[in-house]
Amino acid sequence: MRGPHNIWRLIRTGATFQRTGAMGVVLDAMNAPPIIRMAARIIGFPFAWLGKKGDTSLPPLTRAITALGPAYIKFGQILSTRPDVVGAELSDQLQYLQDKLPPFPSAVARRMIEKELGIKIDEVFSEFSEPVAAASIAQVHRARIAATGEEVAVKVLRPHIERAFRTDIDAFHFSAAVIEFLLPSTRRLRPADVVEHFEGVVMGELDLRLESASASEFAENTANDEGFVVPKVNWGLSGRTVMTLGWGEGIPANDLPAIRASGLDMDRLGERVLQLFLSHALRDGLFHGDMHQGNLKFAANGDIIAIDFGIMGRIDEYTRRVYAEILYGFINRDYRRVAEVHFEAGYVPADRNVEEFARALRAVGEPIFGMDATQISMGRLLSYLFEVTERFGMETRTELILLQRTMVVVEGVARSLNPNINIWQVAKPVVESYIASSIGPKALLTDLAQTVRVLARFGPRLPELAEAALIRQATPIPETDRARPVRAMGYVTLGGGLALVAVWVSSLL
């Protein structure tokens, strides 16, 4: 389904932006030169009638995005958290996309719930509200369980949402292929892999059983995080298209006037949002991957309540250590070490100059220190970072896409609460704590202990592997296979060495 027929979808996307007036808004936000603006008007005007009309009561950009469908809405949600990139006015307009989209009829939601769970709504719930929030993929109803009196949030997928997403993602795949073909210089950014990653994340979000599992695991990981709440999953009232969670009572994070009126410490809330995200990513390797204002609430006592766990990010221990060292190097302004970590991890080709890369990183990092957010143009900073990655041949790391995207979103949330927040100062204690526990002697002992456990499982097979290797060594081997016993013997020798180390570590633990 990724063939040329998608050209029509791309044409209609551009036509929709033209018809709704969003094209001019986007060009203004990008500070596009006059010749580009004129070309867009000349080319786009004759095709504007092909675009979708959208809701004329909405501002142009929001109108275009909502008309185009759920995948575009997801992208708009990200931009809504970055007033420093798109401007305060556009950011305010795009916040509509977070949880204020038109709901589908409650009667449809009721039928879907009853079919999925095999229940009767009026028998199980003593109260069941009209939709209280509606986003790109699902909507939420507030309800009360008749048997227990517990207040819950019942999330229901939009009808036919999977088909709609597949249509959009199909067009994205085609676009990525066209871009790579026409602009070979973009291949290092791996647009096709980026779209594939996006597809995997979003399609996983369309099975609420997986979201329930993520919420449950996330709650276990964060149970001891003071001031952070993850509502409990009600497994008996959850399925593929329905999920039921405990109700989290609080002020939505995008209702800034209400937060100010509540007397809550907004500066502290901004710091906590950023620190908690970093803590979850580094400490647990499992983090909320869609942490925009629409998915956060603040309780009267200042607790941060997280909701919507459809997109969760995971990073392995090695990647966490690399990421922490990079952050730690920036925090300490040790650009040489940051550069070395990039080379050691293979993020930068080995034939590039580490000193030159360190100098480029210094040019990125130094303007940040000693300034508050009002003095930093994140747009210019991101533009320069892109130039640096292009100059040094860095490829897009698909395993870090969600982490990087969520970091941008969380920073935007923190800045909305505290415009003068210094992200480096706030991040420093979390990163230092992770460095102390995960990089150094303590981490070495932990790694060796894990090696002991692995060897304990495979230890009984080591004599068998060694005997097989010796027999193969004594048997004539075809020319093409001569390297194999050498490798096998190497594995055995390595295994024996690790076994000795394991014994030593066991004596220390």
67, 53 Cβ separation under 8 angstroms: yes
Distances (CA, A) of 274 to 281, 370, 416: 11, 19, 12
> In the structure encoding, which two tokens stand for residue 339, read together?
């550069």
Is residue 143 within 8 A of residue 127, CB to CB? The reply is: yes
CA 78 to chain centre: 10
| Candidates 92, 290, 447, 481; catalytic one | 290
Sign for the pseudo-dihedral over CA of 439, 445, 450, 451: positive
CA atoms within 13 A on the CB side of 347: 21
334 is catalytic: no
**Beta strand 125-134 with 138-145: parallel, antiparallel or unpaired?**
antiparallel
Task: Tell me how far apart the alpha carbons of residues 179 and 173 are, in angstroms, rounded to a whole number.
Answer: 10
Phi and psi torsions of 372, nearest 5°: -95, 175
Task: Determine the Cα–Cα distance for residues 264 and 250; give it in Å rounded to an integer.
Answer: 12
Pair 473, 487: CB distance under 8 Å: no
CA distance 399 to 388: 20
Task: Give long-range contacts, CB 8 A cutoff, 24+ apart: 456-459.
Answer: 458/495, 459/499
Instruction: Please choose, from the candidates 116, 155, 162, the residue with its C-alpha nearest in 3D space to the C-alpha of residue 134.
Output: 155
Q: What is the residue-wise DSSP string for 95-141?
A: THHHHBSPPPPHHHHHHHHHHHHT--HHHHEEEEEEEEEE-SSEEEE
Amino acid (1-letter code) at residue 506: S
Query: Is-contact 157 203, C-beta < 8 A?
Result: no
Question: Cα–chain-centroid distance for residue 218?
Answer: 15
Q: How many CA atoms lie within 13 A of 207 on its CB side?
A: 8
- Give the residue among 15, 107, 29 at the shortest CA–CA distance from 64: 15
Catalytic residues: 290
